[in-house]
Structure 1
Amino acid sequence: MKTNFKFWLLLAFAAVAFQGCQEDDPIIREEVEVLPPETVTTVQGFYLLNEGNMNMNKASLDYYDYETGSYKRNVYGQANPDATLGLGDVGNDIGIYGSKLYSVINNSNKIEVMDVVTAKRLKVIDVKNCRYITFANGKAYASAYDGEVQLGENSPNGFVAEIDTTSLSITKTVKVGRQPEKMAVVGNKLYVANSGGYSPPNYERTVSVIDLKTFTKIKDIDVAINLHRLEADEDGDLYVSSRGDYYDIPSKLFVIDTKTDRIKKTFDIACSNLTIVGDKAYIIGSEFNYSTFDYIINYNLINVKTETLLTESFLPKAVSDEIKTPYGLAVDPVSLNVFITDAGDYVSPGKLYCIDKNGNTKFTVTTGDIPAHFAFKTKKTIINP
């Protein structure tokens, strides 16, 4: 979920619709739509986490099976009929590690852990205002704001929780900056992007570095204000996005060399979403400005080996013209199919587009509200009961 502008937009919608929501059945029933099947490689399919509107309790989980072509909406409710409140409020991240599927449910202050095959609940881990999750060496790492969902100068520093993926219990926590967002592991270090998004214009501007052996913060790297996305390439370089201040300071993308923990490159482009596959970084640049109340949208590619911005877009014009609110993004690591979502008006079901590596549209399908976060299910199994 994007903070600041979208936070207040969703809160306004929620205030209008809250009473009606309370009267509805919170369990969303499973629906199945048959799409063209994909060639099954090491990738068998993917889960798509729909955020749902804030305070509407409409987070939901979809699954696309490559072999059968079945696109199943609302698989969590079907697998967990006793979960009377459904998946929860605001699905903010998702990840697969070993035999388990982890869904970070931000406004419900929890991480739902499920069986990766059946989507049945295994455990709920309580984490206040949790944001993102990543994995390494038998551990899950979750970033959390550790405060109420509200703007204000008194918001506390956030933290990262270390979770044992066998016992599914929190074993350690470490404080980082205010409103920490995305994370990445490189070697024995965990990098955390701090935003400070609850207290504009007093944004944070650092990436915190955590030593995973001692689970202590060893330094902060000064980058730019209001950091958000953070991804590592195959060489261990980090791509970190700054959202700017939505007025005069524009969004930018920075490259950090993790051997020196210094900035080595700056791209003057917006980056609202980012994924790196092979030697390419795929970037949705959706930049909002309060002065003009306009969005500027681009679909950029960066060659991460040469660290150059390419001239071509990763999305064909016919699709980019159709998408109203570009949001979720993933690229199949084998086929290089691009999956991109449209959140539309944020209060209605969204759309998922599949584009092959040659720019041809393979299919579109209706999703839940605010389709956002992907986790590919593969044949590779990590030893993790």
Structure 2
Amino acid sequence: MIIKLLKTMKAIKQYSFFILIFLSTALSACRKDLQVIPEEQVGVIPADPSRQLKGFYLVNEGNMNMNKASLDYMDFSTGVYRRNIYNQTNPAQINGLGDVANDVGIYGSKLYVVVNISNKVEVMDAKSGKRIQQINVTNPRYITFKDGKAYVSAYLGQVGVPDAPNGVVIQIDTNSLKEERRIEVGRQPEEMAIVGQKLYVANSGGYSPKDYDTRVSVIDLNSFSLVKNIEVAINLHRVKADKYGDIYVTSRGNYLNIHSKIFVIDTKTDLVKTRFDIGASNLVIDEDIAYFYGSEWSNSTGRFTLSYGMIDVKDEKILNKKFINDGTEANITVPYGITVDKYSKEVFVTDAKNYFSPGVLYCFDPSGKLKWKVVTGDIPAHFAMVYK
């Protein structure tokens, strides 16, 4: 009886061993499937190889702590929209692009993606999307370029901690991909713009809502020194330069009784010269026109107030027309990214929807009519244009 029982136990152990191997193999396969999410392709428009705009990269932020940042590419030479090209091209990167992609830019032959919560700038080949190197930066936000250098704004400190240190702007050599120097600016610095040899960065102070920062820091690029701080308004965010030597800076307000606004700074005097009392979450400047949308959140109402508009930057006047005029704006839940093709003057706007599911990219012709739309990754936000 005992011998029979021992044989039975041995058989059970062997069976359990094989089950464990099977489950381990299956789980390993599942993990591998989760790590390498395949690229998806969808035909959107007829191929147009003659177009000056070859295509553009679109970075999807992905929700915080969900590791769902992704990279898409719209290829006008084929008319195909390619979703999630990073994972397909770089299968060895088991964590994908990372956690919250906050900006993207192309300089020379390289594509740079700023990944905020993953504390890095991911550098890729601009043609293939193949990973070249990772540059470690604590809590990076935005990137811009000048004379062979990349400049990255970074919050520093832990995400959301009110007593986080002042932020910095970091200079990176685009050949060696090494940090060369950094300079302290204000609290939680955001977007930047370069005019001549001066870099302007908006400080938000977003980690301490009762004490927002109010300044645009000005850095001399020759000496890489902070030359001044310009008082503007609370909770600053976007900075865009026009061709007349001005920069347009947005204030997000306090989401209660101080509303979003746009300020114009003359970079010759470094003084605020114009204020537009309009909500602007994002804007892009092309030639004499600034295209903007407002997606202003109110803690009082618990709702967004949406708006779309255009500014003549030469005359500094709000135009009495919109870049969407066919009613499509009623279908956009949360406008989250915007850019313009400098040749065709098409306007591209993204919709983040509910922040947890795939968004939508819209293309509008110069008259404001919808040309096409396509589903993107989660929270589509930042563009990098690829011209011939």
Q: Normalising by the residue count of structure 1, what TM-score does the alignment of the two structures yield?
A: 0.91
Q: Residues 99 and 331 (structure 1 numbering): CA distance in 2 closer, same or farther, change over 3 Å?
A: same
Distance 2:223 2:50 in 1: 40
Q: 1:278 aligns with which of 277, 284, 287?
A: 287
Distance 1:361 1:39 in 2: 22
Instruction: Tell me the residue number matched to 1:378.
Output: 387
Change over 3 Å in CA distance of 1:317–1:198 after alignment to 2: farther
Residue 55 of structure 1 is aligned with which of 65, 76, 80?
65
- Aligned counterparts of 2:36 and 2:220: Cα–Cα separation in 1: 41
How far does the alpha carbon of each residue in 1:127-177 deviate from its partner, in whole angstroms, 9 at most, with x for none? 00000000000000000001111142x111000000100001110100000
Following TM superposition, the consecutive aligned residue runs of length 4 or more in structure 1 with deviations greater than 6 angstroms are: none
Cα distance in 1 for partners of 2:357, 2:262 equals 31
Q: Report the more deviating stretch, 97-106 or 288-297.
A: 288-297
Alignment of 1:1-385 (within 5 A): 25-36=34-45, 37-38=47-48, 40-152=50-162, 154-379=163-388
In 2: Cα distance, 1:170 partner to 1:93 partner: 18
Deviation at 1:42, TM superposition (A): 3.2
1:83 maps to amino acid? Q
Partners of 1:239 and 1:256 within 8 A in 2: yes
| 1:14 aligned residue | none
Give 5+ residue unaligned stretches, structure 2.
Answer: 1-30
Task: Tell me if the contact between 1:273 and 1:283 (Cα under 8 Å) persists in the aligned partners.
Answer: yes
Q: Distance in 1 between matches of 2:33 and 2:207?
A: 31
The Cα of 1:39 is off from its aligned counterpart by 6.3
Query: Deviations 1:279-323 (Å, cap 9, x if unpaired)?
Result: 000001111111111211110100001000011111124210011
Q: Distance in 1 between matches of 2:48 and 2:306?
A: 29
Percent identity of the aligned residues?
56
**What is the deviation of 1:23?**
11
Q: Which AA in structure 2 matches 1:333?
A: K
Give yes or no for contact 2:250–2:262 (8 Å, CA) kept in 1: yes
- Measure the CA separation in 2 of the matches of 1:40 and 1:180: 40
Question: Residues 30 and 72 of structure 1 are in contact (CA less than 8 Å); yes or no, is this contact kept in structure 2?
Answer: yes
Cα distance between partner residues in 2 of 1:171 and 1:331: 33
| Runs of 5+ consecutive residues of structure 1 not aligned to the other structure | 1-21, 380-385
* Equivalent-residue separation in structure 2 for 1:261 and 1:223 (angstroms): 11
**Which structure has the larger Rg?**
2
CA distance in 2, matches of 1:84, 1:323: 33
Q: Counterpart of 1:321 in 2: which secondary structure? A: helix
Amino acid at match of 1:248: N
On the 8 A contact 1:52/1:369 being kept in 2, the answer is yes
Aligned-residue CA RMSD (Å): 1.4
Are the equivalent residues in 2 in contact too, given 1:40–1:66 (CA < 8 A)? no
Higher RCO, 1 or 2 (CA under 8 Å, sep at least 6)? 1
Alpha carbons of structure 1 residues 329 and 197: separation in structure 2 relative to 1, 3 Å: same
Deviates more, 1:285-294 or 1:165-174: 285-294
Amino acid at match of 1:51: E
Q: Deviation of residue 123 (structure 1)?
A: 0.5
